Amino acid sequence: MDFALPVPPYRLSGVVYATLLNDPAQVRDLGDRAYEAPYKEPPVAPVLGLKPRNTIVSNDAAIVVPPGVEHLAMGPSLGIVIGRPACRVAAAEARDVIAGFVVVNDISIPVPSHYRPAVRFRARDGFCPISSDFATWDALPGPPDSLRVAVQIDGHLVHAGSTSGRTRGVCKLLADVTEFMTLQPGDVLLLGGPAAAPVAGPGSHVRIEIEGVGALQNRYVAAEATA
């Protein structure tokens, strides 16, 4: 794993926290189900998951689609790279603890339920590719909550979205997460993917571009090809 950064802390720690259901449409699309068992009410605190070290791969890595799985859900996300220890950070001061941004794909087997942590669906080997492209906040063309996101599969544009309109934007998310857990330099916190994210199957080539940050591309292969 070689994830060098051009600024302190100069490399990623390998710790990646994913934010889930941060696009309000993802909860809205559940309709009344969000108020029924097992959920009972929409989420209050940020919904988080971990992408463990076996999931982390680099740009250009081949990602294995598990046997019996037709397609994987793409989770094109802005990755917030932490630059300084971040504990109880106020939203207004969040910029000071951010080293910069990367492009991350929070890949999952489409999850049938949001009730349990779904580790088997979300933490498989290679399910968290991270770009080598990196941009500091100052280098962005605008605020990190207003960047265009484009996903191309086999050269066709299949998703044109933005980092905007999240339940929690970059600064509010950092404030709410660091209220109860400290993030360390080199850790990555994902803003979270959009509701209308595409899927990809074996043979696909996926390219995710976030305006001003860079691009992440990976190909998807059937399990047999690497066995």
Partner 1 sequence: MKTARVAYSGAIHAAQPTDDGRLRLPDGRVVEEHAVVWLPPVDAGTIVALGLNYADHVKELSRELVVAPNDEPLVFLKGPGTLLGHRGATRRPAGLAFMHYECELAVVIGRTARHVKRSNAMEHVAGYAVCNDYAFRDYLENWYRPNLRVKNRDGATVLGPWLVDAADVPRPHALGLRTYVNGQLTQQGNTADMIHDIPALIAYLSAFMTLSAGDVILTGTPEGVVNVNVGDEVATEIDGIGRLVNTIVGDEAFGRARQPDA
Residues contributing to the site for partner 1 (CB under 8 A) = 15, 17, 20-21, 38-41, 43-45, 47-50, 52-55, 66, 87-88, 114-120, 123-125, 180-184
Nearest CA to 10 out of 58, 77, 78, 82 is that of 82
Give the nearer residue to partner 1 in terms of CB position, either 154 or 182. 182
Give the nearer residue to partner 1 in terms of CB position, either 155 or 227. 227
Query: How far apart (Å, rounded) are the C-alpha atoms in residues 219 and 109?
Result: 16
Regarding beta strands 62-65 and 214-222, do their DSSP bridges make them parallel or antiparallel, or are they unpaired? parallel
Q: What angle do CA 183, 18, 140 make, to 5 degrees?
A: 75
Query: How far apart (Å, rounded) are the C-alpha atoms in residues 180 and 4?
Result: 28
Between the alpha carbon of residue 172 and those of residues 82, 167, 189, the distances in Å are 14, 9, 12
Residue owning tokens 């292969």: 221
- Minimum CB separation of residue 97 from partner 1 in Å reads 14
Nearest CA to 42 out of 32, 52, 50 is that of 32
DSSP category for residue 11: B
- Minimum CB separation of residue 37 from partner 1 in Å reads 8
Give the nearer residue to partner 1 in terms of CB position, either 94 or 188. 188
Give the nearer residue to partner 1 in terms of CB position, either 87 or 196. 87
- Minimum CB separation of residue 51 from partner 1 in Å reads 9
Give the nearer residue to partner 1 in terms of CB position, either 56 or 135. 56
- Minimum CB separation of residue 130 from partner 1 in Å reads 17
- Minimum CB separation of residue 172 from partner 1 in Å reads 16
